[in-house]
A and B are shown apart, each in its own frame.
Chain A
């Protein structure tokens, strides 16, 4: 019963998100909903390797960038549809993550986190000095008339929103599927105790690898959408630490290891950063960033399990109160 209720909640969230840009037809609001969907989706992807499996990755920008660059290069150099680029980007990202993570999985805890950070920086530097992909100059994606096949829409943001929406739902359902599957229990076993999981006969390396590949493929898909949405990419922008940290931040803020976490985190962080910048950014005093930072510190100090933890605690307290008064 609880499972159905939980999923019902998820469907309700999906439904609410869908009507948002149609209710408030403000272009800036629509932009914020698109960014929210992209980052919530990225959070779902990251959650699979870090939230479920307990392997902290600080380098997911690497896969985001690979997704962005694969589709962009194919479109820019050969005129191939970004949809094909998106699928290939996801496959590339999964492949590269497997090659890179395999040796890194020998490392545990902080060392794995440091290794992912370093790998992302290495990949960024490679792209900076790689002439074929225009190196540091970046690529301005050629503007084409509105077309679904070319994933470019200039008259309205709604098509971008709908694509982001579908990808977000797919990412969330992938996360749910992983969590509810046998694999999800294996991953959680690995998170709780690596040694105990091995003792139970789980091939930890193989499952960590699967988790990493799924996680990076999901991340890469959003990289393609992001590139097609901004129509410009350079290595500093898509491989930057900023992207990795934003993914980490919003998932941890929302609640690590739950499919609701990234949605809650992104729903708070993305509008917060956008609106504070819109209203206060023009002053040039950085007040928007101070407020943004202060709120994160407050949440981290008072509820390290994220906003979801806060909900759960309040619910528990409510239940206890009901018990005592009964």
Chain B
């Protein structure tokens, strides 16, 4: 009996002195076809949690210095992870469970745009903020949701970024890039990206840009000979690729075989951004380019990023990559918003998210601010190009780690 009393007293003491814990739901593909990425993102969110809850004066973020949230008496943040297995149905079910059963005050996720869609609709229904880090489908912010925010640039913004980069190459290096080919996979990601090119090019026709080839290939294609011949026939100066790692690798091998030598190849966030691209192709991966939220070449220029990467690498064994950093940002931003609101009241947090500007020194853009549609208006991307097997930042100039090379050399002269 006495033992029981002691246990009871200890438990009581714990509940009285325990600091308040604020739960935030984090729904990612922890198993299934994108499990490798999902687990990397989980590590990054755990790093964010460590930075927020621990004392990290060396990391100059709003919540780095103090332990917990200073405006809420040092309350700790706990990210509750859930797995959606790349299945929209599970994303929806998990969102509802986290809100109703776990009592989370906000949600982040879900990497796959198709999973983010139903999950954020649940958040909207319950009036809970949802921040998507890396889901890039433009459709997400076109739904008119009140409680939805997104950090990554969507494919429409990426397309504008591509044309601006080409303009820069034309002006500075006389690259004379005019003819564009669009090569894309036959799913939401690819089809939507291609639609964006067709839409945005209207604004750049005055600069002489035109589409000379529109090449769609089926998901799971095992041979792209016909597609590559079509591209070769159109003689494009630039190729815009919306491809995953497997098909991107296949295309590059065929470009070499058929001796397709464009001036520039730019890739939407996908296969090119996966470090596996360089491992798969070695020297043949050189000169390909694409936007990236970060690259290891930037660590030298950005001290905070290097420190975050150090913590991340200790967990994951690899350097932090673009999408992972964007989901890291979503975790930091939601914690900062709760802290600034001084409360977990959803309406107050929503007001902060809608009006505030968040410092994000780990991004080249340096800050995050959400527009009326919930889209981050500061695109956190640098143009990277693989030079000697390293993703170098080549544009905008102030973040340049190396100058861009606006011409592919002949394949046999690499």
Beta-carbon contact of A234 and B188 below 8 Å: yes
Q: Does B117 contact A (CB under 8 A)?
A: yes
Name which of B6-14, B94-102, B266-274, B360-368 contacts chain A: B94-102
Q: Select one of B85, B89, B188 contacting A137, CB under 8 A.
A: B188
Give complex CA distance A143, B123 in Å.
13
| Contact among B30, B87, B125 for A237, CB-based, below 8 A | B87
Q: Is the interface of B mostly helix, strand, loop or mixed?
A: helix
Q: Within the complex, what minimum Cβ distance (angstroms) separates B156 from chain A?
A: 14
Cβ of B70 within 8 Å of any chain A Cβ, yes or no, is no
Is the C-beta of A15 less than 8 angstroms from some C-beta in chain B?
no
User: Are B89 and A136 interface neighbours, CB within 8 A?
Assistant: no
B221 to chain A, nearest CB (A): 12
CB of A292, distance to nearest CB on chain B (Å): 11
Shortest Cβ distance from A91 into chain B, in angstroms?
25
Stretch at the interface among B76-84, B163-171, B223-231, B405-413: B76-84
A26 interface residue (CB < 8 Å to B): yes
Q: Within 8 Å of chain B (Cβ to Cβ): is A27?
A: yes
User: Are B31 and A281 neighbours in the complex by a CB distance under 8 Å?
Assistant: yes
How far apart sit A140 and B188, CA to CA, in the bound complex (Å)?
Answer: 13
Contact of B191 among A135, A143, A286 (CB under 8 A): A135
Q: Would you call A138 and B93 a contact (CB within 8 A)?
A: no
Once A31-B96, A230-B89, A281-B31 are accepted as A-B contacts, the answer to whether A140 and B187 lie under 8 Å apart by CB is no
- Interface contact A277-B90, CB-CB below 8 Å: yes
> A138 — which chain B residues lie within 8 A by C-beta?
88, 114, 117, 188
**Complex interface: chain B residues within 8 A of A236 (CB):** 114, 187
Q: Is the CB of A232 within 8 A of B92?
A: yes
For chain A, the bracket of interface size reads 20 to 34
Residues of B within 8 A of A281 (CB): 30-31, 81-83, 94
Let me know if B118 and A230 touch, CB within 8 A: yes
Residues of A178-232 contacting chain B, CB below 8 A: 226, 230-232
Measured in the bound complex, the distance between the Cα atoms of B88 and A242 in whole Å is 13
Nearest Cβ distance between residue A222 and chain B, in whole angstroms? 13
Q: Counting CB contacts under 8 A, is A278 at the interface?
A: yes
Contact A284 B88 (CB under 8 A): no
Q: Which residues of A contact B137 (CB under 8 A)?
A: 137
A28 interfacial by beta-carbon distance below 8 Å: yes
Question: Which residues from chain B contact A128 at a C-beta distance below 8 Å?
Answer: 186-187, 219
Q: Is the CB of A31 within 8 A of B187?
A: no
Spot the interface stretch: B35-43, B61-69, B343-351.
B35-43
Q: Contact at B101–A282, with CB atoms within 8 Å? A: no
> Given the interface contacts A140-B121, A231-B121, does A27 sit within 8 Å of B81 by beta carbon?
no
**A73 adjacent to chain B (CB < 8 Å):** no
Q: Contacts A137-B139, A137-B192 given; indicate if A234 touches B35 (C-beta within 8 A).
A: no
The answer to whether A140 and B88 have CB atoms under 8 Å apart is no
The smallest beta-carbon distance between B155 and chain A, in angstroms, is 11
Residues A129-153 near B (CB distance < 8 A): 129, 135-138, 140, 143
A236 to B185, CA, bound (A): 14
Tell me the count of chain B residues lying within 8 A, CB to CB, of chain A: 40
B136 to chain A, nearest CB (A): 13
Contact (Cβ within 8 A) B31 A232: no
Which residues of chain B are within 8 angstroms of A27 by Cβ–Cβ distance? 96-97, 100-101
- The 8 Å CB contact of A28, one of B39, B80, B96, B125, is B96
A234 and B187 alpha carbons, distance in the complex (Å): 10
Nearest-CB residue, chain B, relative to A32: B93
**Do B38 and A284 touch across chains, with their CB atoms under 8 A apart?**
yes
Asked if residues A230 and B186 are in contact (CB atoms below 8 Å), the reply is no
Q: Are B97 and A140 in contact (CB under 8 A)?
A: no
Q: By DSSP majority rule, is chain A's interface helix, strand, loop, or mixed?
A: helix
B30 touches A136 (CB 8 A): no
Instruction: Check if A316 is an interface residue, CB within 8 A of chain B.
Output: no
Determine which of A35, A231, A288 lies in contact with B118 in the assembled complex, contact meaning CB atoms within 8 Å.
A231
Chain B residues near A35 (CB-CB < 8 A): 93
Asked if A140 and B191 sit within 8 Å, CB to CB, the answer is: no
Given A125-B218, A129-B186, A232–B114 Cβ distance below 8 Å? yes
- Chain B 207-230, CB-CB to A under 8 Å as 1, else 0, gives 000000000001100000000000
Q: Is B143 engaged at the interface, CB distance under 8 Å to the other chain?
A: yes
Distance, CA A31 to CA B124, complexed state (A): 18
* Bound form: Cα–Cα A302–B100 in Å: 39
Q: Which residue of B lies closest to A284 (CB)?
A: B30
Bound-complex Cα distance A154 to B42 (A):
30
Interface string of B31-51 (1 = CB under 8 A from A): 100010011001000000000
Cβ-based interface call for A176 (8 A):
no
- What does the 1/0 interface line of B376-399 toward A look like (CB < 8 Å)? 000000000000000000000000
Q: Does the CB pair B88–A136 fall under 8 Å?
A: no
**A303 at the A/B interface (Cβ < 8 Å)?**
no
Confirm or deny: A289 has a beta carbon within 8 angstroms of a beta carbon on chain B.
yes
A26 to B100, CA, bound (A): 8
C-alpha spacing A281/B81, complex, angstroms: 8
Least Cβ–Cβ distance between A277 and chain B, in angstroms? 6
Q: Which of A5-41 contact B (CB under 8 A)?
A: 26-28, 31, 35
Q: Known contacts being A231-B121, A242-B87, A277-B83, is A136 close to B218, with CB within 8 Å?
A: no
Interface residues as binary, B159-195 with A (CB distance below 8 Å gives 1, 0 otherwise) = 0000000000000000000000000001111111000
- Residue ranges of B at the interface with A (Cβ–Cβ < 8 Å): 30-31, 35, 38-39, 42, 80-83, 85, 87-90, 92-94, 96-97, 100-101, 114, 117-118, 121, 124-125, 137, 139, 143, 186-192, 218-219
Across the A-B interface, the 9 shortest Cβ-Cβ residue pairs: A281-B83, A282-B81, A284-B30, A136-B187, A27-B100, A232-B118, A286-B31, A136-B188, A137-B188
> What are 18 A-to-B residue pairs whose CB atoms are below 8 Å?
A27-B96, A28-B96, A28-B100, A31-B96, A128-B186, A136-B186, A136-B187, A138-B117, A140-B118, A140-B139, A143-B121, A232-B118, A237-B87, A277-B83, A278-B82, A278-B97, A282-B80, A284-B39
Give 10 A-B pairs besides A31-B93, A136-B186, A137-B188 with Cβ atoms closer than 8 angstroms: A26-B101, A125-B218, A137-B137, A140-B121, A232-B88, A232-B117, A278-B82, A282-B83, A284-B38, A288-B83
